[in-house]
Amino acid sequence: MIANNIFKAIGDFFTNVLFQPFEAIRFMDNWWLQSTVSWIFILITFGFFFYWIGEIQKYKKAGNE
């Protein structure tokens, strides 16, 4: 019974607290404003990808495995 209440509390927290900004974004009229979060994640992912490629090239030049 306690475990069930914990999982319900976690579900309520995510639904009622953490997803509220996304509920507000969902009803916007502008596509660019709606997709802002996705664009931010895409930019962060590309940044980490190019950083990773740079680190791989450093290890290749140094001869490390």
Structure tokens at 38: 């996705």
Average pLDDT over residues 21-35: 85
CB 25 within 8 A of CB 34: yes
pTM score of the predicted model: 0.58
Residue 53 CA to residue 49 CA, distance in Å, equals: 6
Rounded to the nearest integer, the mean pLDDT of the chain is 89
Q: What's the whole-number mean pLDDT along residues 45-52?
A: 98
Q: How is residue 16 annotated by DSSP?
A: I
